[in-house]
Structure 1
């Protein structure tokens, strides 16, 4: 019996659908040629009431609202009104579905404004686009922390970033490293930003943390920390903080 379907016979002798053995991302390898270069073969018989785009859109909506852990093949199938087994010809496992989701939302990163020619300014613009994008889809930082196979939308944005780096004179490998470093920075910052936003919803916890740091600064054993905490504060808006961190990163890049 086909392992992919993972079907079992019930006591009436009829097949029943079961949840895939492992829904975790990374459980199965993804063949990029099969995924991105070979179009989905048309199904025989009656045309289904759903499409791969519909499946991906349903999964993205679910992840945006509840997190990537909430996305399962069974739940997505129920959302589009299909049997879970019928999804396998579109996305054979959750890892493939996640690849499709990442590239699907990357289509939102369409860049219409031309590059300005100042590569540092252009990289900062790209990073701000990425931050806004990841804040719209809070599951993205975690999804991007594992190896992803770039699809057409992702490659289009990468092409734009590489064009921004052309004035640097860096070789190809270095350009890819800079883009990877920038994306990792944005993903890490957004993940922290989301965590801090959630923590700020608990005023008691924020107040307790402030009292704790004040006590530590006053104990005489942490003079460097005490000096830092006594210094004038800087704008603490999320946008201002991101811009400061981003500036330190990009202004410190060596283009030689």
Structure 2
């Protein structure tokens, strides 16, 4: 958000953000840094949600005047880009690709899910995140290397990365929402009764058959793995 409270209409300049120094060049040396500001914003979002992350609140966390933050992050859009790349530093690849691209891609995707669950604000942030920083680029480089044995060209490998990331983002968003619903047993019971009534009305035979089938394991890890296997095992590389 800009100084007057509005989102920056011009968007984030990636050259300004990532290719030029992030520290003010003139004046007294500050007692904080762009990294400290970003870490404070991430901690706020992890604990309280993205909606509480404002320039004023972050300034209070680092013990700075709000106006002094604008030389590091001129608006909330820029701060969000910094936050996304900051946490992307956790997506480190310790092993080189094995050559089994499906197994490697599944491992990468499990890492992405765990990462988003640690930072529940991240799926929403990724919907508007457009400027990959150095940590994000390092992770992307690893995934593109994982996909090299597919024989796909570079553009197609980028598409697969986008497809997988979109799947994980959507799935984790659903997991977070379902966890909130599960804390309301009355609502869960009401939904069960509703679906049972719909299945019995004779107008939805396909749904009735699906609901009568043996249930798959509902544990979050098992559900994610099942969905992921269907997606990656079915990827067409021709």
* TM-score bucket of the superposed structures, by smaller chain: over 0.9
Equivalent residues of 2:23, 2:33 under 8 A apart: no
- Asked if residue 100 in structure 1 is aligned to residue 91 in structure 2, the reply is no
- Please report how far the alpha carbon of residue 69 of structure 1 lies from its aligned counterpart in structure 2 after TM superposition: 1.3
In structure 2, the residue matched to 1:113 is 95
Out of 105, 111, 125, which is 1:143 matched to?
125
The alignment covers a number of residue pairs equal to 238
Separation in 2 of the partners of 1:23 and 1:83? Answer: 19
Separation in 2 of the partners of 1:20 and 1:66? Answer: 23
The higher radius of gyration belongs to 1
Equivalent residues of 1:23, 1:73 under 8 A apart: no
In structure 1, the residue matched to 2:140 is 158
Equivalent residues of 2:98, 2:104 under 8 A apart: yes
The verdict on how the C-alpha distance between 1:145 and 1:29 changes in structure 2, with shifts beyond 3 A counting, is same
Equivalent residues of 1:56, 1:97 under 8 A apart: yes
Q: How does 1:41-52 map to 2 (within 5 A)?
A: 41-52=23-34
Separation in 2 of the partners of 1:74 and 1:39? Answer: 23
Deviations 1:94-139 (A, max 9, x none): 0000000000000000111232211111111110000000000011
- Asked if residue 64 in structure 1 is aligned to residue 64 in structure 2, the reply is no
Equivalent residues of 1:161, 1:179 under 8 A apart: yes
TM-score (norm 2): 0.96
The verdict on how the C-alpha distance between 1:201 and 1:41 changes in structure 2, with shifts beyond 3 A counting, is closer
Out of 189, 195, 200, which is 2:182 matched to?
200
- Structure 2, unmatched stretches of 5+, are none
Separation in 1 of the partners of 2:40 and 2:189? Answer: 39
Equivalent residues of 1:27, 1:95 under 8 A apart: no
In structure 1, the residue matched to 2:107 is 125
Equivalent residues of 1:28, 1:93 under 8 A apart: no
Equivalent residues of 1:56, 1:104 under 8 A apart: yes
Separation in 1 of the partners of 2:24 and 2:51? Answer: 30
Out of 16, 22, 40, which is 2:5 matched to?
22
- Please report how far the alpha carbon of residue 21 of structure 1 lies from its aligned counterpart in structure 2 after TM superposition: 2.0
In structure 2, the residue matched to 1:14 is none
- Please report how far the alpha carbon of residue 67 of structure 1 lies from its aligned counterpart in structure 2 after TM superposition: 1.4
In structure 2, the residue matched to 1:169 is 151
- Please report how far the alpha carbon of residue 252 of structure 1 lies from its aligned counterpart in structure 2 after TM superposition: 1.1
Let me know the Cα RMSD of the aligned residues: 1.5
Separation in 1 of the partners of 2:6 and 2:176? Answer: 25
- Structure 1, unmatched stretches of 5+, are 5-18
- Please report how far the alpha carbon of residue 44 of structure 1 lies from its aligned counterpart in structure 2 after TM superposition: 3.3
SS at match of 1:165: helix
TM-score (norm 1): 0.89
